[in-house]
Amino acid sequence: MSEALLAVRDLRVEFVTEGGPLRAVDGVSFDLSPGEVLAIVGESGSGKSVTAQTILGLTRSPNARIEGTASLRGEELLAASEAELRKVRGDRIAMVFQDPLTSLNPVRRVGDQIVEAIRAHRERIGRGEARGLTVEMLDSVGIPQPERRIDDYPHELSGGMRQRAMIAMALALDPEVLIADEPTTALDVTIQAQILDLLRRLNRERDLATVLISHDLGVVAEIADRVLVMYAGRVVEEGALDEIFYDPQHPYTWGLLGSLTRLDRERPERLPQIRGAPPSLLDLPAGCAFRPRCPHAFGRCTELPALETRGGETAGHRDRCWLTPGEKRESRAVGGRIALEEAR
């Protein structure tokens, strides 16, 4: 593996709330290499968005306690001053958000918002030149008639076009890392596929390191190289895409895979789901946080297992589950496919 472009170590984010301290992210570590697509998967509240936003300092507030390190080519981000971080945001690490309608300022022209991003980092680029670059960017993300679209307001574009414009804005300064936070969730299925194609193309053409945040394993399967599965603020399993899909070690991952609809299999009568709801981050169960929802939980699960290679076949495939590799292989096979068994 080549040297890490972005290295996150033991990231912890805690928010002070009226209900007590809320640990949103608890010890997340990962490496991202140039050209790699890393997917962070989990339900809402699993800490995936907070992880990404914290890297850019967007969760900084008097109520947030942030620990750990995140370094971009050896440059520490979490401890950086706001002014230093501002130079990284948009220029070296760019971000695309879930809902392109609310993420663009509704009363300013799309082009102006992209020009603004360019000029925030390149003072020497004049308005006219920045406008030219913007047209080029809009064109490269597949927006037809970019020289006309540049003067549209966000509500005048379709959902897919808006997300393309967001991506153009993120890539305008040729960043090293793109963080895409649920980039397709707010879009129609056909548009989702187009946006994923676009992200994959840009990732290849520009050797762009990408962090893709999603709750949808179907989306992840399309473009990810490696996958981090998060649950209640912790990484419960990580590995290469194929390892996660064909040799998953953690019951939560089985549950996610089991609830996927697949075109190559007969559709089950009722889509399986993981029973129960994610725990409150204010009141996490001791040990494995998935324990209350896990049909395979046993006595030892009240102790938190470390994230390490257990049943996986490579050093990069690690999980947090006490079951033995044999038990895992046996338990995850439900009706000829991988799934989380319903309550015992």
Partner 1 sequence: MARFAARRLLGMLLVLVAVTVIVFVIFNVIPSSDPAARIAGQRGATDPQLIANINREWGFDESLPVQYWRMMEKVFGGDLISYTTRQSVDEQIWEGVPATFSLCIGAAVIWLSLGVLFGYLSAVRAGGLTDRALTILALVGISMPVFWLAAIFLYYLTFKVELFPSGSYVPLTQNPLDWAYHLVLPWLTLAVIFVGFYSRVLRSNMLDAMHEDYVRTARAKGLSDRQVRTRHVLRNSLIPIVTLFGLDFGVVIGGGAILTESIFNLQGVGQYAAEAIENLDLPPIMAVTMFAAFFIVLFNALVDIAYAWLDPRIRLGGSAR
Residues lying near partner 1 in the complex (CB under 8 A): 53, 56, 58, 82, 86-91, 94-95, 97, 99, 102-108, 116-117, 120-121, 153, 155, 166, 169
- Closest approach, Cβ 337 to partner 1, in A, equals 38
166 versus 274: smaller Cβ distance to partner 1? 166
Distance CA 240, CA 260 (A): 18
- Closest approach, Cβ 269 to partner 1, in A, equals 39
- Helices (runs of H) and strands (runs of E) counted in the chain: 12, 13
- Closest approach, Cβ 54 to partner 1, in A, equals 12
The CA-based angle 45-23-291, given to 5 degrees, is: 65
| Burial zone of 95 (CB within 10 Å; 0-12 exposed, 13-18 middle, 19+ buried) | buried
157 versus 288: smaller Cβ distance to partner 1? 157
Partners of 15 in the β-ladder: 22, 64
Question: What does the block give as tokens for 283?
Answer: 């009141």
175 versus 255: smaller Cβ distance to partner 1? 175
Chain centroid to Cα 67, Å, comes to 20
Question: What does the block give as tokens for 36?
Answer: 């790699």
165 versus 232: smaller Cβ distance to partner 1? 165
- Closest approach, Cβ 82 to partner 1, in A, equals 7
- Closest approach, Cβ 177 to partner 1, in A, equals 12
CB 73 within 8 A of CB 92: no
CB 320 within 8 A of CB 288: yes
Which distant-in-sequence residues (6+ apart) come within 8 Å of 57 by Cβ? 77, 78, 80, 82, 85, 89
82 versus 264: smaller Cβ distance to partner 1? 82
Length of the chain: 344
- Closest approach, Cβ 37 to partner 1, in A, equals 19
Residue among 95, 58, 98 at smallest CA distance from 214: 98
120 versus 304: smaller Cβ distance to partner 1? 120
- Closest approach, Cβ 206 to partner 1, in A, equals 18
85 versus 281: smaller Cβ distance to partner 1? 85
Which distant-in-sequence residues (6+ apart) come within 8 Å of 102 by Cβ? none
